[in-house]
Structure 1
């Protein structure tokens, strides 16, 4: 299996050509929505009947394709099935939690950023018992501490983990989390929203009850739906469990299998775009090739930003190929709001920080961008700093010292 954090040969990625966005559109350097291929946009120009046989065939195709990427057989022999759901990624996370965790279940939530905390908030709304392991902004949850918490609370039935925590850009060690969860007889639910399709998640190798992702992430589609890939046994057991009609994964699965249709009005144009995005994903070389391009984007970006004096929040071991968080410069003339606008004027939309402790900002590495684009991003950052009168982008010394200390703890 290819490492998600290992360096990728630049020569392999220089050959990957990513067309620029349409005239006047900026590059979206965010964790999704992201910059999409022109042909993906073009696929949305046709209207589809939601009950029509052609559209039902498209739904069946996307379900089979996603199971293939997940490593499961896309037929009756497979252990898993794919259930698309209308709405944002958070809708799908809530649907998974509310449908697959029994009302008398108890979840251990592994949190190291905003999205792990959102899972805990969702469970509170759902009235599900839960315990939170909060590692802060810098550190991943490790197998040994998960094991200790499962031993300390025998009532825990499920472990819920975020694959890539995009509030910091950390790639969590899902393989070791899965192994210890299975060894303790618990069920693993994964929020792989910003990772699936690029970072390996093969259900033959990672024991999980279910995971969720979204159309507008590493497959490079557009917003409008997400999907739950779950064991068929878990979907069977979920009957009558959901708190919500619209977010009932079992009912959506049952209706799709019986009729080929979505229960409620599907995002037809988004599905059409996703079919094209899946074609491009396969044409590029599937998950390994997409990982290689994204990892190279990250490495080119980080190297260039460090030449300007910027420092990434995370050390290389935990730095994902999805999005990179950088400390804001300590220079008194630096203002993120002005920096953002200057970057936008040069054709790049970046992301504000989402940390609780230090000032930061984020730059995404996913979407229809390649190493050449990332070099232009670095040049745009240099230009913005000059305009602001910032002669060096070094962060506060205390931030670097804290990072070193916490890296030793990891």
Structure 2
């Protein structure tokens, strides 16, 4: 299915494009799927849940028969907590690979759970590399699990999970992946990258709406997860066992969200699956980044680490540039961008995912040009310290 054949959503009805890492702009068909009510115990809805689980497993490619899929009510963070609590035993020890807000959120979650952990904190700019992970595991034989973020959307870094996986399993440990903002657009094939479990959400690269996450885990890990969880509602083993026995969710499911997600999964398949979806997002990124650089903006990351999910730009040093004003001007032109999360310099982020194509991204660049002109910003280049920080990554 060519991008030109997609029914790309339009802001003409008053809806701006969401240039965020999710929630994101959805198709009309996905929105329309939520107009019907479903009984959560009914056979038709049980069939919908079964189809959802199968379609998600199919995205793993060869080797998916060793895994099962467990949907979990709530936001993506609910599903991450469910994964950490269910697959890390109470006497386990975790190495968290952090280079942004979401790695540190896993750290905070482990603190709440009372799981022993250590952190490799790479700051805002740098990815964790296999060699340093291997050294930590060699020095600390008590570490049982490693937690990695697939795409750290606070910076836009696409972390090298395949490299990380190789050293984790060479050391005889287990890997859990937070692929919240990458699964469905970045390959995570079971035959290529070893992991015990991964987690994502309905409102990310599959292009559904918020309401549930899902954990995809090895069946033997699911069996071993019994009695690990601290929580009644976030117990992945209990949810999995109940679904396999009855076909139902343990507690009231987000029925409309499930219906919308199934529509999104079908569209994902028609677009060419992970390769097709990821290809469109990469084109979105390349067109948008090239255009923004022509305006003088600089990206936080070198091309090597730019994800096709979201891109971080430094704020211009021009005194006429005020982010809040820039944000409102962009919104008035039909585009909602994302504030930055960096700690050293001011920044903002522009998402590449959702019902958008490269033509929309050209309009994003045009809107940014107009906004700069309206603000009286003649130079979009960042302060020197921003480029100095970026140079650390290149080295």
- TM-score, structure 1 length as denominator? 0.95
Separation in structure 1 between the aligned mates of residue 310 and residue 203 of structure 2, nearest angstrom: 14
Residue in 1 that maps onto 2:318:
331
Q: 2:133 aligns with which of 137, 146, 154?
A: 146
Say whether residues 1:213 and 2:213 are aligned partners: no
User: Are 1:37 and 2:24 counterparts?
Assistant: no
Q: Which among 203, 206, 211 is matched to residue 224 of structure 1? A: 211
In the TM superposition, residue 72 of structure 1 has moved relative to its aligned partner by: 5.1
Cα distance in 2, alignment partners of residues 394 and 339 from structure 1: 15
Is 1:181–2:168 an aligned residue pair?
yes
- Alignment match, 2:332: 345
1:93 CA displacement: 0.3
Give the root-mean-square deviation of aligned CA atoms: 1.1
> For 1:109, what is the secondary structure of its paired residue?
strand
1:27 to 6, 13, 17: 17
Which sits farther off after the overlay, 170-179 or 391-400? 391-400
The number of residues matched between the two structures is: 394
CA distance in 2, matches of 1:72, 1:225: 26
Which residue, out of 51, 70, 81, partners 1:94?
A: 81
1:2-81 to structure 2, matched below 5 A, reads 18-21=8-11, 23-71=13-61, 78-81=65-68
Residue number in structure 1 paired with 2:97: 110
State which drifts further: 65-74 or 377-386.
65-74
Over 3 Å counting, the alpha-carbon distance change for 1:157 and 1:252 in structure 2 is same
8 Å contact kept, 1:21–1:36: no
Q: Which residue of 2 aligns with 1:4?
A: none
Cα pair 2:61 2:189 within 8 Å, conserved:
yes
1:373 equivalent in structure 2: 360
Partner of 1:316: 303
Q: Is the CA contact 1:294–1:321 (under 8 Å) kept in the aligned structure 2?
A: yes
- Which whole-Å CA distance do the structure 1 matches of 2:62 and 2:77 have between them? 24
For the structure 1 residues 22 and 210, does the alpha-carbon distance in structure 2 shift closer, same or farther, using more than 3 Å as the test? farther
Alpha-carbon separation, structure 1, partners of 2:86 and 2:167: 23
Structure 1 gaps of 5+ residues are 1-11
Question: Hey, what's the Cα distance between the residues in 1 that align with 2:292 and 2:129?
Answer: 29
Show the counterpart of 1:300. 287
| Cα shift at 1:406 | 2.8
Deviation at 1:356, TM superposition (A): 1.2
Runs of 4 or more off by more than 4 Å in structure 1? 12-17
d(CA) in 2 for partners of 1:314 and 1:82? 34
1:16 offset after TM fit, Å? 5.2
Equivalent residues of 2:7, 2:27 under 8 A apart: no
Q: Is 2:380 the counterpart of 1:401?
A: no
Contact in 2 for aligned 1:21/1:37 (Cα 8 Å): no
Whether the 8 Å contact between 2:9 and 2:25 is mirrored in structure 1 is no
Q: Is the contact between residue 178 and residue 198 of structure 2 (CA under 8 Å) also seen in structure 1?
A: yes
